[in-house]
Amino acid sequence: MSNNTQQEIAVHCSSAGSGVKNRLTIKNSTIFLVLTAVFAALTVVFKAYSVNLVFVVFTFTYIAWFLAAIILGPGAAILVVLAGETLGVILGGSPINIALLFSNMLFPIIMWLCWQLRFFKPRIRIVIAMTISVAVITMGLNACIIHTVFLPHMQFSVFWLQRTVQIPIAFINAGIIIIIVDALVKHKVIDENGKLRLAGNLSWKEGKVKKPLSS
């Protein structure tokens, strides 16, 4: 085979590889944006149907936040919290509490950080993340903010003890998240590291393109 022929093949492979890579990037970006919008919408729905008992809120918003952190990463998950919480409060006709909003953004960050502990099984990472989140945010930052802003007349120790009811609610959410993640891994929607199995594998080496592997 002549050098010219080899160069023509290399150019063709390079062009084909670039086209496949661009299509995969567009597809993945679209799915990424759609999932971000879906998780934000779930946050609004869960918030709308939450049962607020002043010192405790029966809610499933943790599910949307944690799944967004696992699948999409911390940046998109923070956007989910910001958009979902803001829209939820506006639609509910309540004023936005900036302190609570920023405090809630820590939930997906903690989940994402704990998800990096790859030497633990996924369900253990979720339980660790929820345990830290409850201790630091639910019973810590959020408790202080809610007491200061909404219930300053109540003794903090009494309020804090009443708020412990939020703990089992949070771990009910954790149990549901574990079930969902296990199902997504089992059906090969995501891998054990939470990465979406979208368009197969793209190998870009020596001008060759590897076709996506069928699952």
Q: What is the pLDDT of residues 18-36, one digit of tens each?
A: 554 555 466 667 878 888 8
Specify the pLDDT at position 194. Answer: 86
105 alpha-carbon distance from chain centroid: 11
Banded pLDDT at 174 (limits 50, 70, 90): very high
- Do residues 207 and 13 touch, judged by C-beta distance below 8 A? yes
- Do residues 79 and 36 touch, judged by C-beta distance below 8 A? yes
Banded pLDDT at 211 (limits 50, 70, 90): very low
pLDDT at 169 over 70: yes
Specify the pLDDT at position 106. Answer: 96
- Across 3-7, 143-147, 209-213, least confident range: 209-213
Q: Which amino acid is at 135?
A: A
Single pTM value for the model: 0.78
Mean per-residue pLDDT for 141-159?
93
| 81 token code pair | 């919290």
Q: 84 in helix, strand or coil?
A: helix
CA-nearest of 13, 9, 30 to 211 is 13
CA-nearest of 130, 131, 158, 160 to 143 is 160
Pairwise CA distance, residues 108 & 75, whole Å: 9
Residues 6+ apart with CB under 8 A from 13: 207, 208, 209
Pairwise CA distance, residues 102 & 137, whole Å: 11
CA-nearest of 60, 64, 52 to 163 is 52
pLDDT at 192 over 70: yes
Q: 186 in helix, strand or coil?
A: helix
Per the listing, tokens 């903690």 go with 110
Domains parsed from the chain with CATH numbers: 7-209 (1.10.1760.20)
Give me the phi and psi of 140, to 5 degrees please: -110, -90
- Across 7-16, 119-128, 136-145, 162-171, least confident range: 7-16
Mean per-residue pLDDT for 175-196?
90
Q: What is the pLDDT of residues 43-91, one digit of tens each?
A: 888 888 877 766 677 889 999 999 999 999 999 999 999 998 888 878 8
E strand residue ranges, 5-159: 51-52, 57-58
